[in-house]
Amino acid sequence: MNWLHHLLISLCVLTLGLAITVGNAFAQQPEEPAPPAPVVDDEGPVGVGLILGLDLGIEDGQDMEFIGGLDARFYIEADESIDVVINPAAVIYPFLDAEGVNLIQIDLNILAQFDVDAPVEPYVGPGVALNLTLIDDFDNQTDFGINGVAGVAIDLDAQIEPFVQARFTRVLADEGFNILAVMAGANFRF
């Protein structure tokens, strides 16, 4: 279990380092002054936060499971009404019924977030998933999957951006299975 803690700490450090690097890259000023871009609010191009939710257990024999993890978002303005959002995330299943079994899902999603004239901004997009089943004293299992994500971000015109989303994952294992999770979280934008 010691290496699991190292893996989770490494993921946290990697996500934070990537967020800081991208944030610094966006903060760099060009040598020649460019005309100022219109500022809509205080939100920055990077968001990092926590996510909590439930795996709804839609497969036969599955129970609903609590999940929690980290969420990061890198915003790229495609035009005035759409942001492309690169969304890496990692969630763990801390309370599985099986003793000595840990499940981690690492996602990389590409989302289109729509800037509508409302306090919520809907988003949708595809992604890929890496499911790691970690079993004490046995062979671990790694499976790939395909995600579909849909949700809404709540625009508070502040640096904190809460969101609610659903994520469907089709795990492409020998005996493939589906995961449907509903999640809520908040990201700190900088």
Query: Which CATH number goes with the domain that contains 149?
Result: 2.40.160.20
| Residue 134 placed within a domain | yes
165's CB contacts (< 8 A; 6+ apart) are 123, 149, 150, 151, 152, 182, 183, 184
The H-or-E segment that residue 48 falls in is strand 46-55
pLDDT digits (tens, 9 = 90+) for 76-114: 999 989 999 999 999 999 888 777 788 999 999 999 999
Residue 17 has a pLDDT of 52
Residue 37 pLDDT exceeds 90: no
Residue 153, Cβ density class (10 Å: 0-12 exposed, 13-18 middle, ≥19 buried): buried
Instruction: Answer whether residue 38 is part of any domain.
Output: no
- The residue ranking higher by pLDDT, 54 or 8, is 54
**What token pair was written down for 21?**
């690097």
Residue 33 within a domain: no
Amino acid at 114: F
Residue type, 186: A
Give the chain's mean pLDDT: 83
Residue 35 within a domain: no
Q: With respect to residue 22, please indicate whether it lies within any of the assigned structural domains.
A: yes
Range of the structural domain that residue 181 is part of: 2-28+45-189
The domain total for the chain is: 1
